[in-house]
A and B are shown apart, each in its own frame.
Chain A
Amino acid sequence: MALLEVENLQTHFRTPDGINRAVDGVNFHVNAGETVAIVGESGCGKSVTAMSILRLIPEPPGKIAGAIRFNGKNLLDASDKEMRAIRGNEISMIFQEPMTSLNPVLTVGRQIGETLRLHQGLSAQAAEDRAVEMLKLVGIPEPQRRVKEYPHQLSGGMRQRVMIAIALACNPKLLIADEPTTALDVTIQAQILELMRDLKHRVGAAIVLITHDLGVVAEVAERVIVMYAGRKVEEAAVGPLFRNPRHPYTQGLLGSMPKLGSSLTGEETRLAEIPGLVPSLKKKIPGCVFASRCPKVTDLCTQYAPALEEKAPGHVAACHYALREEVVAA
């Protein structure tokens, strides 16, 4: 059984001018110890998916339907009290903005200790000792001194390390990282990605990585889910997805990224554009969600939504025209 199973997840928001279908029927699973990346552009529903798993969506105006099974238990049926016992304990989350997600008036030691005292019933002293250990684990120099400092005394990279320390304090089985390195500089991003890779081996938590950066995905993920306009359009292991993307949207995304080293290989070409804009999620889209921007669109696409089909072993895509393995081989 998978550690996390998300079944037909629908997160809709009521707005003055209609229902916003931010996430519209998404299925996926995460196995224990696995790193799964959810990628897509802004507004594709990737962050809402992450927030829905922890039920951090305010209801109303939000509404979550479907099933989110963690260790076989549907989190959507859990009481608030049960959810509190899960958040930060069995499932924890790292947010994008380390600046705003830490409490500015509490020392980092208090903030790391808080989850430990709450979930594991440690004493104040024991929690602080453990906080020092956690800071050491995430590679912060002089943890004894840093544990007594406030967030504003730390740099952006160190704050993100503190966020990771808080998230890992209770040895979660699942870690949801929502754009964990987007706000950071490249050299600091490299440090944090290295840390996440290293910690994954040591702690063994499964990671759901939410990002728009395909470079980051290629470096850390094992399996990738591509989302577009609230739906999953493609899913595959990281290698096949980058080598052989099946969905025109994934192909477009990869083509629109300039390749580092292009001046050396001489393959400097014009960037491929995906014309147009993401469709409004307030209207029901009868056909394929990508039809309005797809270079291969036909009448079939605008009328019938393509089902997610297995195009190759472990590689699914929602496109009428994506090639299947037999056809590719021929």
Chain B
Amino acid sequence: MSQPLLQVNDLKKHFPIKAGFLGGTTGYVYAVDGVSFDIAKGETLSLVGESGCGKSTVGKALLRLFPLTAGQVVLGGDRIDDMPNGTLRPLRRKMQVVFQDPFSSLNPRMRVRDILAEPIRNFGLAKDAADLEKRLEGLMDKVRLPRDAINRWPHEFSGGQRQRIGIARALAGEPDLIICDEAVSALDVSVKAQIVNLLQDLQTELGLAMLFISHDLAIVEHMTHRVAVMYLGKIVEVAPKRSLFGAPKHPYTEALLSAVPVPMPGAARERIILKGDVPSPINPPKGCRFHTRCPYAFDRCRTEEPQLRPVADALEGGHIAACHLHDRPAGENPLSGAKGAQLLAVGSA
């Protein structure tokens, strides 16, 4: 197999908690605590999980928006986690981001033209003024905005149009990888569909790889090739999408799937309602981090942390999960078999 575009190995980001008069560190928020994954060229990997699970921190850490605590990040063969900022700058072009809030992520004092031209100038991509103009027009066409809108200000656009500008800005540097951090979450249903379709078209057109960070499982299933599920700073399951949605192999994934409301009144589905809240990442539970809310937890879960390992009875290859239940015989493993359809009420009217 060829080298993946992005390789992340044991990424950690701990935020110190400062307190007291002298501002001494009294503890750490273990926001991301050992996360590994890779993304192939042209592939979409989705990172899903609830708020506070560390999925956005992973995105920001990959972009080196703050220094990492530990771990390696390899982008297109270059190790970027410990690269000095000056050396990193030209490589930043390869990895661009689209943020959640289309209202705060565009500078209100810059015209669309300047917003889009900035990355092109920064990375010295345009040969001359005419080339810059051509690139700008190309970007507007790519995101299906009228070319004459380029001289307008961000406030003149609706949320969906602004998100298109945000996408155009990300494309301006001709990246290999786009990190979409909840890029469609703030949009209305009908506009969301427009942006989702646009992202998919762009991916096929330009062969982009995407890290799609989202909590919306229906959109994720629609968009992605593979899914990584995060809980409290750790990845608990990674699988190709059909395998994950058809036969989830981690109790947390199972509960997540069953919790999403489906637009089918009276659908007969199996429902797992988790008790309580996500524990604090300042003091994560010992053993398996999910054991405090897991309906199947047993003694081993409270003491020994499960590792991500391939699952034997997955629907497709490349399905890994971190759960002790898979060491039990199939008869005693509530996660054996393919329960996805019951959880999602697929096929019931």
Contacts and interface: CB of A to CB of B under 8 A. Distances in A.
B246 to A, nearest CB: 5
B51 A190 contact: no
A103 interface: no
A252 interface: yes
A305 interface: no
A262 B217 CA distance: 11
Contacts of A19: none
Contacts of A190: 258-259, 261, 271, 273-274
Given A263-B241, A264-B242, A271-B196, A256 B189 contact: yes
Interface in A29-51: 41-42
Nearest to A221: B265
B2 interface: no
A191 B271 CA distance: 11
B313 to A, nearest CB: 16
Contacts of B344: 260-261, 264
Given A186-B259, A187-B256, A271-B193, A264 B222 contact: no
B50 interface: yes
B104 to A, nearest CB: 17
At the interface, is chain A mostly helix, strand, loop or mixed?
A: helix
Interface string B63-76: 00000000000000
A155 B277 contact: yes
B266 A239 contact: yes
A197 B277 CA distance: 20
Contacts of A99: none
Interface residues of A, number: 47
A69 interface: no
A157 B200 CA distance: 34
Interface stretch (A52-60, A85-93, A143-151, A272-280): A272-280
Interface string B308-349: 000000000000000000000000000000001100111101
B188 A212 contact: yes
Given A260-B344, A264-B245, A271-B222, A216 B189 contact: no
At the interface, is chain B mostly helix, strand, loop or mixed?
A: helix
Output the residue of A187, A218, A273, A277 with the most chain B CB within 10 A: A187
Interface string A107-124: 000000000000000000
B283 interface: no
Contacts of B188: 41-42, 212
Output the residue of A42, A186, A193 with the most chain B CB within 10 A: A186
Output the residue of B193, B271, B341 with the most chain A CB within 10 A: B193
Interface string B207-249: 0000000010111011000000000000000000110011000
Interface in A183-206: 185-191, 193-194
Interface string B249-266: 000000111111111111
B261 A187 contact: no
B190 interface: yes
Contacts of B94: none
B222 A268 contact: yes
B193 A185 contact: no
B346 A265 contact: yes
Contacts of A216: 261
Contacts, number: 134
A270 interface: yes
B130 to A, nearest CB: 33
A137 interface: no
Nearest to A272: B193
B219 A258 contact: yes
Contact of B246 (A194, A263, A277): A263
Contacts of B191: 41
B220 to A, nearest CB: 9
B3 interface: no
A217 B190 contact: no
Interface string A165-182: 000000000000000000
B194 A273 contact: yes
A41 B215 contact: no
B263 A185 contact: no
B105 interface: no
Nearest to A139: B275
Contacts of A313: none
A158 interface: yes
Contact of B263 (A186, A217, A263): A217
B302 interface: no
B346 A218 contact: no
B247 to A, nearest CB: 10
Contacts of B246: 263-264
B261 A259 contact: no
Given A191-B274, A212-B188, A272-B193, 5 more contacts: A215-B261, A257-B263, A264-B341, A265-B346, A274-B193
26 contacts: A41-B188, A42-B188, A186-B256, A186-B260, A187-B256, A190-B274, A212-B188, A214-B263, A218-B261, A239-B266, A243-B349, A253-B189, A256-B190, A256-B193, A257-B193, A258-B218, A258-B222, A259-B218, A261-B221, A261-B245, A263-B241, A263-B245, A264-B346, A268-B222, A271-B197, A273-B197
